[in-house]
Amino acid sequence: MKPVILFGTGKISEVLLHFFRNASDRNIVACTTDRDHLPGATWNDLPCVAFEDVDHHYPPTEHDMFVALGYQDLNDLRASKVAAARAKGYQLISYVHPESGMPNDCQLGDNCFVMNSVMIHPRVTLGHNVFVWSGSMIGHHTSIGDHCWLTSSTNISGVVTVGKNCFFAVNSTVGHGIHIGNECFVGANVLVTKDAVDGQVFLVESTKAFRLNSRQFLRMSGFSNL
């Protein structure tokens, strides 16, 4: 297997670097980012080079790449860097944690990230550049489109179709057999039970703070006596 170049030097990149170093047989040998965002000559004990020059230092004939960026602009930034890496000739690898429990009949594209402690049923398809964080559930015969992001504890039921560039926040849930269009934003604790067209946003109001402070509430409720 070829050594790997990690694209990115932010918090998401640090998370991915942790998993590559501690739960993978792939060797990260350097990192890269756009010249204007270089943190210096090194980052997390890795040599760091400008993406504009990375193919001269680490040729794509000898190295693979993983783009470890977040969900900015509904994943457009990550998608654009995936395309740029491909244009330079790099093979983009995917990372599936060895303890993910993902069935071997699941299909996934390149530059996917599947964390540990997920629950993915058989007959699931993940497109290119899909990130699935811990605690997420994806039901059987569900298809997730390219460039999507499933935050921790997302619940996608069975026989669901999700379009491209969608974002699902913590504890969001999509019901059985639902179709989600492209570029949808599903907020925290949202329940979607009807089909969604392209570009829809689903939000629920945050829980309002109680009128008493915590000490007053404990005295009033008798909670401390339980």
Q: What domains can be seen in the chain, in order of their start residue?
A: 4-93 (3.40.50.20), 94-202 (2.160.10.10)
- pLDDT at residue 37 is higher than 80: yes
Q: What is the pLDDT of residues 185-208, one digit of tens each?
A: 999 999 999 999 999 999 999 999
Residue (of 151, 152, 153, 178) closest to 163 by Cα position: 178
pLDDT reported for residue 224: 67
Q: What are phi and psi of 149, to 5 degrees?
A: -135, 120
Question: What DSSP letter does each residue of 128-185 carry, written as one string?
Answer: TT-EE-TT-EE-TT-EE-TT-EE-TT-EE-TT-EE-SS-EE-TT-EE-TT-EE-TT-E
Residue 50 per-residue DSSP state: E
Assign 220 a pLDDT band (cuts: 50, 70, 90).
Answer: confident
pLDDT reported for residue 214: 87
29: helix, strand or coil: strand
- pLDDT at residue 221 is higher than 90: no
pLDDT reported for residue 124: 98
- pLDDT at residue 90 is higher than 80: yes
Q: What tokens does 166 get?
A: 């969608």
pLDDT reported for residue 226: 58
Higher pLDDT, 222 or 100: 100
Supply the pTM of this predicted model. 0.94
Strand partners, 12: none
pLDDT reported for residue 216: 87
113: left (phi over 0), alpha (psi -120 to 50) or beta: beta
Mean pLDDT across 133-150:
98
Assign 218 a pLDDT band (cuts: 50, 70, 90).
Answer: confident
pLDDT reported for residue 191: 98
CA 155/CA 133 separation, integer angstroms? 11
Q: How many CB atoms lie within 10 A of CB 210?
A: 9
